[in-house]
């Protein structure tokens, strides 16, 4: 417990509930659920703002067959921070999906 909880008679202190004579200091299930819902809403807002901030820097590009592209090396296979994070160039042979291509 922290001194503020003792001074302000938190529900966590047994003498806090006895001195006030009230058991309504304990949070109810409803108040806990409301706090959880508000935390989930705040998290979603923060994630949405971060997503918009990152996506405004992205430049959409079309990749067609015959283009030269670089392929990112997975972090598990990188040798260190000085080495290149990309390998290639590779020629795109076909498009499997709009987001994926065969090299």
| pLDDT (0 to 100) of residue 48 | 94
Q: What is the mean pLDDT of residues 39-66?
A: 90
Identify which has the larger pLDDT, 37 or 32.
Answer: 37
> Please, which pLDDT band fits residue 16 given cuts at 50, 70 and 90?
very low
In angstroms and rounded to an integer, the radius of gyration of the C-alpha atoms of the chain is 28
pLDDT one-digit tens code per residue, 59-102: 888 888 999 999 988 887 777 778 888 998 999 999 888 788 89
Give the DSSP per-residue string, 17-81.
Answer: HHHHT-STTSPPHHHHHHHHHHHHHHHHHHHHHHHHHHHTT-------TT-EEEEEPPGGG---S
Say if residue 89 is preceded by a cis peptide, omega within 30 of 0: yes
Element holding 91 (H helix, E strand): strand 86-91
pLDDT one-digit tens code per residue, 18-29: 555 555 556 777
């Amino acid at each position: 417990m922290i001194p503020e909880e003792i001074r302000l008679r938190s529900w966590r202190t047994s003498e806090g509930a006895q001195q006030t004579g009230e058991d309504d200091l304990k949070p109810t299930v409803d108040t806990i659920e409301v706090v959880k819902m508000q935390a989930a809403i705040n998290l979603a807002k923060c994630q949405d703002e971060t997503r918009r901030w990152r996506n405004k820097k992205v430049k959409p590009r079309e990749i067609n067959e015959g283009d030269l592209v670089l392929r990112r090396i997975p972090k598990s296979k990188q040798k260190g921070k000085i080495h290149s994070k990309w390998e290639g160039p590779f020629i795109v042979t076909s498009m499997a999906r709009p987001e994926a291509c065969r090299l």
